[in-house]
Amino acid sequence: MTIYNFNKGIGWASSGVEYAQAYRSNIFKKNKQIAKFIFTDMFQENLQPMAQNIGFEDDEIIWLYQSFTDVRISPTTFSVKDLEKEITFTIKEKKTSTNSVTYISEENGIRLTAYLDKVATDKVYKTELLVNGKLIQRDYYTYVKTFSEYFKPVDNSARLFQRRFFNVNGSVAYEELLNGKDSLFLFENRIISSKRVLLEEFIKNLQLTAQDILIIDRSTDQGPEIIKCKGPAKVGSIVHAEHYNATLTTPEKILWNNFYEYSFTNVESFDFYVTATEKQKNILAQQFNDYKKADPLVEAIPVGSLDRLRKKAGRKKNGLITASRLAGEKHIDWLIKAVVEAKKTVQDLTLDIYGRGTEESKLRQLISELEADSYITLKGQHKLDDVYKQYATYISASTSEGFGLTLMEAVGSGLGMVGFDVPYGNQTFIEDDKNGYLIPYIKNEDEINIKELSNAIVKIQEKEMGNGGLAQVQKASYEIAEPFLTTQIRKKWLALEKEVCHD
C-alpha cells in the first residue's frame, strides 16, 4: 500500500499546501505508512533543496518529468570543477560573483554562465550559453546533467522550442517539443501528445491497486487525469482553504472555490474528502447533501501537528510575533500600522515578522516611512519550532485561513492570540477572552480593521501583564493545542486508511 500525494509546484517560500504536505509526510513516516509526494510543474531549479527545506526526504519525492528517466532525486553535487572539465572552448576570461561564474571565449562570441546552488554554493544547478549575446542553451544539473533547454531568437527575444531529458549515463531519455501552450513528447518507441497524456502515462506506470490511495492537494489541470487513470485505487481531495463563496451562494446554487470545483462537482468519483477543521467538515458535508444530494465520507484531520507542547518561563515582554508568506492577502501592512498605533499606549511594544514573499520590499519601506525600524523587524525565513516560545503574543491579520499552521504552532508554544473572527483557523485556535481575542472583520474597511487590531493588541498586553494573566492565557492556549499533538493526528490517518481501503 502506498499513499500518493499530488501537488504541482514547490518553492523556497512555499505556500501552506506544501507545508501541510510536509507535516503529513512526518505523520506517515511515524505511522510507517509508505507515501510519495508528486510534483507535476516544470522546475528551472533543483527541487530537492526546496523540498528538503520544509522537511521532505529525497526518496519521498517524485518529479513528473524526471520520473521517465533513471536520474534520482538528489542534492546538487555537480561542481564548478566538474563543469570546467566539460568546457570545450578556450577560456579567455573568468568572472566570479557570489551567485555565478562566467566563462568568456577567446573567439566566436561564446559566453557561458554557471549559476550556483543556494545551499551548496560551490555547486552548479544551471548554466546558460550565449553566442553573440543570444541565449542558445540552458543545462540543468543535480549530480548529473538532468535536462537541457534549447532556444532560438524570435522578435529580439529567446524562444524556448525544445527540451531533452537525460539518463544518468548521458543518453537521451526523451525529448519535449514546445509549441505554444502544450508540448509533444518524443520517446524512443512512442509519441505522447500533451502534458496531460504524459501525466496519464505516469499514473498508469504506478500500477495502482485497491490498497493504494491517491490524495489530490491541487486538482487544477490534473484532477481529470488522476481520476481517469486511478484504476482500483481510492482517491481523496484535501481542502486547504475556504471552499465556497458565501456571498454568491444561494439556497438553490453554491459557488465552489475554483480550486476545488472539479473535486466537488465530481463527488461520485471521489472516495473521501479531508478538511482541516471540524467546523469546515460539518459545513461541507451539509452542502454536499443540500446541493449534490450526496453523502460522501468527509473527515476532519488537521493539516499539521505538534510533536510536543513547548514551554518557557521567561518571554519577551510585550513582544509580538507573526509568521507567514509576505503576501498581500496576509495584510502584514495592517499589522505594522496597528502596532505603530498600539505603541502609543504600550511603549515597549515590539513586532518581529517572520517569512519571505513578494511584499517584502514594500513592507520594509512602510516600516521606514512610519519610523518604526527600532521596534518592527523583518526577520526573514527561519525554522520557528523553538522561536515562538520566546514571545508572549502571536498576531495575524489574515482574513482567510483554512487552518493556519502558524496559529497551531503558536498555541502549541503557549502564546496569546489576536486575529480576525473569520473561518477557519482563527476560530479554531482563538477562544475569545480566554487565550486571546477574535476581532470583528469588516470587508473593505481597512482603517476600521487596523483600529480593531490595534485595540486588541493593547487589550491582550494589558491582560497578560495583569496579575496571573499571562499564565492563564498560556494555560488556555496549551489546552487548545492538546488535540493537535502528533499522537492524536497519527490515529486519525490510520483510521482513515482503514475505513477507505478495508470496506
Q: Which CATH number, 3.40.50.1950, 3.40.50.2000, 1.20.120.160, 3.40.50.1820, labels domain 3-73+197-300?
A: 3.40.50.2000
pLDDT reported for residue 461: 92
Buried b (16+ CB within 10 A) or exposed e, 315-331: beebbbbbbbbbbeebb
In this model, does residue 237 exceed pLDDT 60?
Answer: yes
Q: CATH 3.40.50: does it fit domain 80-193?
A: no
* One-letter amino acid of 170: G
| Structure confidence by residue, pLDDT tens digits, 294-318 | 999 999 999 889 999 999 878 888 9
In this model, does residue 82 exceed pLDDT 80?
Answer: yes
Backbone angles phi, psi at 67, to 5 degrees: -65, -20
Q: Are strands 213-216 and 234-238 parallel, antiparallel or unpaired?
A: parallel
Q: Which CATH superfamily is domain 316-484 in?
A: Glycogen Phosphorylase B; (3.40.50.2000)
What is the average pLDDT score of the chain? Answer: 94
In this model, does residue 503 exceed pLDDT 60?
Answer: no
Domain chopping of the chain, boundaries: 3-73+197-300, 80-193, 316-484
**Cα separation of 418 and 471, whole Å?**
17
| 3-class state of residue 388 by DSSP | helix
Q: Residue 279 gets which letter from DSSP? A: H
| Structure confidence by residue, pLDDT tens digits, 361-391 | 999 999 999 999 999 999 998 889 999 999 9
**Cα separation of 14 and 16, whole Å?**
7
When pLDDT is averaged across residues 233-243 and rounded to a whole number, the result is 94
**Cα separation of 48 and 142, whole Å?**
9
Q: In whole angstroms, how large is the CA radius of gyration of the chain?
A: 25
| Structure confidence by residue, pLDDT tens digits, 260-279 | 999 999 999 999 999 999 99
pLDDT reported for residue 383: 86
Domain 3-73+197-300 and domain 316-484 have a common topology: yes
Higher pLDDT, residue 339 or 180: 339
SS3 content of the chain, % helix, strand, coil (to 5): 35, 30, 40
